Amino acid sequence: MSVPEGDVPEFFPGVGPVRYAGPDSDDPLAFRWYDADRVVAGKPMAEHLRMAVCYWHSFVWAGADVFGAGTFDRPWTAPGRDPMEAAAQKMAAAFEFMAKLGAPYFCFHDRDLAPPGATFAESCARLDALVDQALGHMERTGVRLLWGTANLFSHPRFAAGAATSPDPEVFAHAAAQVAHVLEATHRMGGANYVLWGGREGYETLLNTDLRREEAQLARFLHLVVEHKYRIGFEGAILVEPKPAEPAKHQYDHDVATVAGFLVRHGLDGEVRLNLEANHATLAGHSFHHEVATAAALGVLGSIDANRGDAQNGWDTDQFPNSVEECTLVLYEVLRAGGFTTGGVNFDARLRRQSVDRDDLVHAHVGAMDTLARALLAAVSLLESGELEAFRHDRYAAWDGPLGAAILDGGRSLADLHRLVLDDDLDPRPASGRQELLERVVNRHVEQARWP
């Protein structure tokens, strides 16, 4: 199937390639901190952060919400046009934008790239045609794929779940769709494949068999992992936790819940996680907590850096703008050895009043600068060794004779009972120094500069 491209105009005419201009610049269309090729902590900044533009919020969504229509100036979504031609124009706009921004990666759902067809076969053919076209744009611009994913939540057939549907034909449909998108992701050299289960949950327990749904979800993930090996996809399979929205309760609640699920079903070692800042907030955690927990449990994969709003309880998906929050997150990433297949996706959308095309540029330049400055602060904090020295000393007694014997299983509860009685043990609290450590972090955030 060939894709009619039509005449492709320039969609971001006032925007040249976005350049690094340094911290003193007040040019809103230049980076103040993100200097892609400059080396920090052993590798170029771009390779540390592996930042990605998301196709859906930036190029598909037109600014509609549940109360009102789209507000954005997005000529490539103009109604009445042939849907494949519109998809080709949208793709041209996306790659023009990413190339001008200098974003090294992007992420997509199948339905973002290609309009669904009347049958599954037609949907597949349409996606294949647009993937061919994307390969041309990727070759031309050098933009790579951080991850692909299948949209298993928009179509009405998924209303009661995809893998966790009460109907095995829906499971089969979801499996077929994932097989196709995993193959497309493989063809595009994707570094990861993501599964986010917005409909994998329940609206009421009155009609839900929790035991069956968990077993179905586990079987689905095993099928995805088997298929990855069958087709030779070398990227990582990532699950993205989120506690709710659109479902009242989603099974992939948070990092700890998903990590337990993976172990329970023999999927640990095969599946890692994609962590979103806003989903952490919805789960009642900080983003720092989710990333630190994933690192501690060995399941850290990639991150979606879009944040929520402290004053409301839904998924506002705003562009990141807190250097301090991102510093703590990147500190954990660096401490865990840095990203391997993962990176930083901006699964973020503009506010509905940010109607101009330029607003997309400002949002991304600001977000990339926030992450860049946070990376410099996180590197400085890690290289100073200040937090690690404190943490090391705080637990040092666990490497002594008593701590080691307890952990090795060499002391029973009765042994410890006797020890405390006989030696009259009376440990004294040691200061946790929280306020001091917070000042350490702030000092590195304040002072972080390009060397």
Residues designated catalytic: 109, 112
d(CA 434, CA 425) in angstroms, rounded, equals 26
Site for Ca ion in 304-323 (CB under 5 A): 304, 315, 317
Q: Under 8 Å CB-to-CB from 93, ≥6 apart: which residues?
A: 11, 12, 59, 74, 75, 76
Q: Look up residue 424 and give its two tokens.
A: 């009259």
Which residue among 200, 304, 325, 369 contacts ligand XLS (CB under 6 A)?
304
Picked from Ca ion, ligand XLS, none, the partner binding residue 149 (CB below 5 to 8 A depending on kind) is ligand XLS
d(CA 177, CA 196) in angstroms, rounded, equals 14
Q: Residue 274 or residue 370: which is nearer to Ca ion going by CB?
A: 274
When CB distances to ligand XLS are compared, the closest residue is 196
For residue 429, give the amino acid letter: P
Q: Residue 149 or residue 216: which is nearer to ligand XLS going by CB?
A: 149
Distances in Å between the Cα of 76 and the Cα atoms of 114, 151, 256, 389 are 13, 21, 41, 54
Block residue for tokens 């329940």: 202
Burial pattern 115-124, b for ≥16 Cβ within 10 A else e, equals bbbeeeeebb
Closest to 217 (Cα-Cα) out of 260, 185, 261, 173: 261
Provide the minimum distance between the beta carbon of 412 and ligand XLS in the complex, in angstroms, as a whole number: 47
Q: Residue 254 or residue 276: which is nearer to Ca ion going by CB?
A: 276
Q: Residue 31 or residue 147: which is nearer to ligand XLS going by CB?
A: 147
Provide the minimum distance between the beta carbon of 193 and ligand XLS in the complex, in angstroms, as a whole number: 11
Which residue among 110, 315, 332, 369 contacts ligand XLS (CB under 6 A)?
315
Which residue among 20, 106, 158, 196 contacts ligand XLS (CB under 6 A)?
196
**Is the preceding peptide bond at 246 cis, omega within 30 degrees of 0?**
yes
Burial pattern 177-205, b for ≥16 Cβ within 10 A else e, equals bbbbbbbbbbbbebbbbbbbbbbbbbeee
| Residues 223/267, Cβ–Cβ less than 8 Å | no
Which residue among 110, 240, 252, 325 contacts ligand XLS (CB under 6 A)?
240
Per-residue x/- track, 262-291, Ca ion (CB under 5 A): --------------x-x-------------
Q: Residue 325 or residue 347: which is nearer to ligand XLS going by CB?
A: 347
- Reduced to 3 states (helix: H, G, I; strand: E, B; else coil), residue 145 is strand
Per-residue x/- track, 91-130, ligand XLS (CB under 6 A): ------------------x---------------------
Closest to 294 (Cα-Cα) out of 246, 259, 342, 260: 259
Q: Residue 279 or residue 444: which is nearer to ligand XLS going by CB?
A: 279
Q: Residue 96 or residue 315: which is nearer to ligand XLS going by CB?
A: 315
d(CA 391, CA 388) in angstroms, rounded, equals 5
Provide the minimum distance between the beta carbon of 60 and Ca ion in the complex, in angstroms, as a whole number: 14
Picked from ligand XLS, Ca ion, none, the partner binding residue 48 (CB below 5 to 8 A depending on kind) is none
Provide the minimum distance between the beta carbon of 291 and ligand XLS in the complex, in angstroms, as a whole number: 16
Q: Residue 290 or residue 304: which is nearer to ligand XLS going by CB?
A: 304
Which residue among 32, 50, 227, 242 contacts ligand XLS (CB under 6 A)?
242
Under rule CB under 5 A, residue 254 binds Ca ion: no
Per-residue x/- track, 411-430, ligand XLS (CB under 6 A): --------------------
Closest to 3 (Cα-Cα) out of 167, 160, 128: 128
Per-residue x/- track, 325-354, ligand XLS (CB under 6 A): ----------------------x-------
What values do phi and psi take at 418, rounded to 5? Answer: -65, -45
| Residues 241/275, Cβ–Cβ less than 8 Å | yes
d(CA 177, CA 299) in angstroms, rounded, equals 25
Provide the minimum distance between the beta carbon of 449 and ligand XLS in the complex, in angstroms, as a whole number: 33
Q: Is residue 303 within a helix (H) or strand (E), and if so which, with residue range? A: strand 300-304
Picked from Ca ion, ligand XLS, none, the partner binding residue 112 (CB below 5 to 8 A depending on kind) is none
Neighbours of 16 (CB within 10 A): 10
Under rule CB under 6 A, residue 192 binds ligand XLS: no
Provide the minimum distance between the beta carbon of 431 and Ca ion in the complex, in angstroms, as a whole number: 38
Binding-site size for ligand XLS (CB under 6 A) equals: 10
Q: Look up residue 262 and give its two tokens.
A: 């993976």
Under rule CB under 6 A, residue 35 binds ligand XLS: no
| Residues of this chain that bind ligand XLS (CB under 6 A) | 109, 149, 194, 196, 240, 242, 276, 304, 315, 347
| Residues of this chain that bind Ca ion (CB under 5 A) | 276, 278, 304, 315, 317, 347
